[in-house]
Structure 1
Amino acid sequence: MKRYAILYVATFVVMLPLDLLFLGTIAKGFFNAQVGDMLGEVRLAPAILFYFLYIVGILVFVNSAPDATWRSTLLYGALFGFFCYATFELTSLSLLKHWTWPVVMVDISWGTVVTAVAATLGLLLANWVESKL
């Protein structure tokens, strides 16, 4: 149980700043240009809930194996991110009038990368912390 708590926190502290940097700075102009008319104020409770649940998903589907390596975590993190973000993006594209293919491609790509990186660095950080305990 201690292992999963360390892994959860380690993955969270990698994922959240990366995603906030991307969404709040790097891609902000792109998303505003593409679907800005659909964007409103960020509702904090659902956003926080997403991160808490998504990190659980990473732990369950990517980092749950006790013998997980950085290579397997990178691969399965990328796949998990790809499928999760593709599910959201393609559903949005099918239902929302102003959703665009460029948004779909950028966000699926980002989800793939950020999940792979967060899962892998989270694993490496957790392993490092555990070695110090």
Structure 2
Amino acid sequence: MAWLGRYVVAAVIFGVLDYLWLGVIARPVYEEHLGDWLADSPNMVAALAFYAIYVFGMVWLAITPALAQGSWVTAVLNGAVLGLVAYATWNLTNLAVLDGYPSGSVLYDLAWGTVGTAATCGLTFVVARRVRALR
């Protein structure tokens, strides 16, 4: 049950952070760089599948091991590595195989994946340490 609770906490935190990033902060940058590449509305099935799998990865690879070690630093570092690897996979694969994929979007998206995932894992660790049922 604790694992599921961590999953829910991480999903809420990442959902809020990603909404703020995609919907508010970086929206003009994405529109400038990706323009016609952006869909009028997102494919929600694909988006929800990504979030479900990605949050699973955060809990499995960063949050749970950090709780076992009692180290928020482990949560943040493992989260940062996961974010960098996942977002690099997306961006660099697109850059490699899609004709005209805008290289200007790669660095800020890698930075967001790294920071957003690290922050989610660190914050979820803090919540889990404070809420006994999530340990």
TM tier relative to shorter chain: over 0.9
Matched to 1:26, the amino acid is I
Measure, in 2, the Cα distance between the counterparts of 1:126 and 1:45.
Answer: 29
Query: Relative contact order: is structure 1 or structure 2 higher (C-alpha 8 Å, sep ≥ 6)?
Result: 1
Structure 1 residue ranges (4+ consecutive) displaced by more than 2 angstroms after TM superposition: none
Secondary structure in structure 2 of the residue aligned to 1:21? helix
CA contact (8 A) 1:12 1:122 kept: no
Secondary structure in structure 2 of the residue aligned to 1:99? coil
Measure, in 2, the Cα distance between the counterparts of 1:76 and 1:60.
Answer: 10
In structure 2, what is the equivalent of residue 10 of structure 1? 9
Q: CA deviation at 1:93?
A: 0.8
- Give the superposed CA RMSD: 1.7
The reply on whether 1:78 has 2:77 as its aligned counterpart is no
Measure, in 2, the Cα distance between the counterparts of 1:26 and 1:98.
Answer: 24
Measure, in 1, the Cα distance between the counterparts of 2:91 and 2:53.
Answer: 18
Q: Which runs of 5+ in 1 are unaligned?
A: none
* TM-score, length-scaled by structure 1: 0.92
In structure 1, what is the equivalent of residue 96 of structure 2? 94
Matched to 1:120, the amino acid is G
In structure 2, what is the equivalent of residue 52 of structure 1? 52
What count of residue pairs does the alignment treat as equivalent? Answer: 132
Q: Which runs of 5+ in 2 are unaligned?
A: none
